[in-house]
Amino acid sequence: MASNSNRYGDSGRLAAPGGLPPPAPVELAQGEALAGLIREEMAACGGSLDFARYMELALYAPGLGYYRGGAQKFGASGDFVTAAEFSVLFARCLARQCQQILNELDKGDVIEVGAGSGVLAVELLRALETLDSLPDRYFILELSAELRQRQRTLIARELPHLVERVHWLASLPEERLRGIIFANELLDAMPVHRFKVSQRGIAQMHVSWESNHFVWCAKPANDIVRQRVEVLALPIPYVSEINLQAEAWVRSMAAHLSQGVLLLIDYGFPRAEYYHPQRNEGTLMCHYRQRAHDDPLILTGLQDITAHVDFTAIAEAGVEGGLSVLGYTGQAAFLLGNGLHELARASDPTALRAHMDLARQVNVLTSPAEMGELYKVIALGRNIDIPLQGFSLQDRRGRL
Ligand SMILES: C[S@@+](CC[C@H](N)C(=O)[O-])C[C@H]1O[C@@H](n2cnc3c(N)ncnc32)[C@H](O)[C@@H]1O
């Protein structure tokens, strides 16, 4: 598994587009159908689409987008591996954090947003059951009908006695929630605006179609993007992204939380690091069959497209929505604060292979060279004021 691609792109694994494995004929046909749909919309919009709209269609066009078509996507035989797919220890640590919150609230519900293959839901529910801390209801809010079906099948197979407790949602429930809303690697999969600052001013990057390929084209930035970029006072030339959808999503989750915690795990940085003068080519990253590269205009609909998360923007959106920042730290500190070592030590050392596997998983989850440092955890809360154990070893709220 260590040779698989995490979604931030393994160092040394940046493949030249020409070096990517060729898609199968069925994938090519799906990619062509999606490209046709995108080109139709481009034609209707005067010849180009804002990159955020291109990314939205590439990932989420019904039936054809990357997350809504039938591709494998997750795990060793897919395109990338998330922490939840990589190690059960991730879900077990998260369960401990959930247990603390649910105890404080004297029970409540859990909403997992963007559940992917469903592996995280299975392992989290299993661990919460072992801890005798199952939530009253476990909701999965998932955009992709195809993934909702996969999640349902997996949970029914792995946890038949708990499947009644799990409810799938295509949008947020009417009632406000008391409990926990959490998401792992969701925000990075939301469509971003890409901008370019040059001597000519601030441009918004669009995508158009030329000579049988999608190509970049620069257009004057709309007012919102321009105003947001102006205050960053970036050096010239500079290309980066801004995730307005993630901010709106946080505000809407905040509005739905009557009491409890919004817990978000993803790769990214505080704003000062995100828009560091040296990060002048942005953070877009694509994943295709365990290879990471930086060209979102190829393999449209067949590859994952992501951008890193500006956690300062996420914290600000939460505060605007009436939440308080309860903690912010790296994934390593969060998992260790939730007893990662203790959980790993509980394995039987005489079962040498399993024991060594767990040791390797701890290393990948926590090493600063792997997922430990780039991945961050932020907790935003309403009407709850306890020191969360995931931030007990280190809390970097001050850096946001
Ligand atoms: C990279 S996957 C993360 C999978 C999983 N959380 C894990 O850790 O393995 C992103 C997931 O978010 C879903 N998604 C993206 N935008 C969403 C939204 N606005 N609401 C709900 N789900 C969304 C995708 O369909 C996909 O299941």
Q: What is the pLDDT of residues 378-397, one digit of tens each?
A: 999 999 989 999 999 999 99
pLDDT tens digits for range 235-250: 999 999 999 999 999 9
User: CA-CA distance, 328 to 309, in Å (whole number)?
Assistant: 13
Range of 17-31, 249-263, 352-366 with top mean pLDDT = 249-263
pLDDT: which is higher, 356 or 37 = 37
For residue 17, is pLDDT > 80? no
Mutate to test the pocket of ligand 1, among 94, 142, 151, 187 (most ligand atoms within 8 A of CB): 142
| Residues ≥6 apart with Cβ < 8 Å to 283 | 240, 241, 268, 274, 307, 308
C-beta 315 within 6 A of ligand 1: no
Nearest CA to ligand 1 atom 2: 116
For residue 84, is pLDDT > 50? yes
Tokens of 12: 């040394």
Please, which pLDDT band fits residue 7 given cuts at 50, 70 and 90?
Answer: low
User: Do the Cβ atoms of 127 and 92 come closer than 8 Å?
Assistant: yes
Please tell me the least confidently modeled range out of 6-15, 250-259, 329-338, 345-354: 6-15
Q: What angle do CA 33, 36, 39 make, to 5 degrees?
A: 155
Percentage with pLDDT > 70 across the chain = 95
User: Do the Cβ atoms of 116 and 78 come closer than 8 Å?
Assistant: no
Please tell me the distance between residue 289's alpha carbon and the centre of ligand 1 in angstroms: 18
Tokens of 62: 């019904």
Q: In this predicted structure, what is the pLDDT of residue 256?
A: 96
pTM of the model: 0.94
Please, which pLDDT band fits residue 290 given cuts at 50, 70 and 90?
Answer: confident
Mutate to test the pocket of ligand 1, among 7, 148, 186 (most ligand atoms within 8 A of CB): 186
Q: In this predicted structure, what is the pLDDT of residue 5?
A: 60
Please, which pLDDT band fits residue 13 given cuts at 50, 70 and 90?
Answer: very low
Q: Return mean pLDDT, the chain.
A: 92
Q: Please give the number of the atom of ligand 1 that sits closest to the Cα of 188.
A: 1
Please tell me the least confidently modeled range out of 2-11, 117-126, 280-289: 2-11
**Mean pLDDT (whole number) for 128-138:** 96
Question: Residue written as tokens 């990214």?
Answer: 268
Instruction: Give me the residues paired with residue 195 across strands.
Output: 204, 240
pLDDT tens digits for range 320-333: 999 999 999 999 99
C-beta 154 within 6 A of ligand 1: no
Question: How many residues are recorded in the chain?
Answer: 400
C-beta 181 within 6 A of ligand 1: no
Please tell me the least confidently modeled range out of 5-19, 51-65, 228-242, 348-362: 5-19
For residue 16, is pLDDT > 80? no
Q: In this predicted structure, what is the pLDDT of residue 350?
A: 76
Please tell me the distance between residue 32's alpha carbon and the centre of ligand 1 in angstroms: 24
C-beta 275 within 6 A of ligand 1: no
Please tell me the distance between residue 30's alpha carbon and the centre of ligand 1 in angstroms: 21
Nearest CA to ligand 1 atom 11: 114
Please tell me the distance between residue 147's alpha carbon and the centre of ligand 1 in angstroms: 9
Q: In this predicted structure, what is the pLDDT of residue 47?
A: 96
**Mean pLDDT (whole number) for 333-339:** 98
User: CA-CA distance, 229 to 231, in Å (whole number)?
Assistant: 6
pLDDT tens digits for range 30-77: 999 999 999 999 999 999 999 999 999 999 999 999 999 877 677 777
**Mean pLDDT (whole number) for 139-143:** 95
pLDDT tens digits for range 174-217: 889 999 999 999 999 999 999 999 999 999 999 999 999 999 99
User: Do the Cβ atoms of 166 and 94 come closer than 8 Å?
Assistant: no
Please, which pLDDT band fits residue 6 given cuts at 50, 70 and 90?
Answer: low
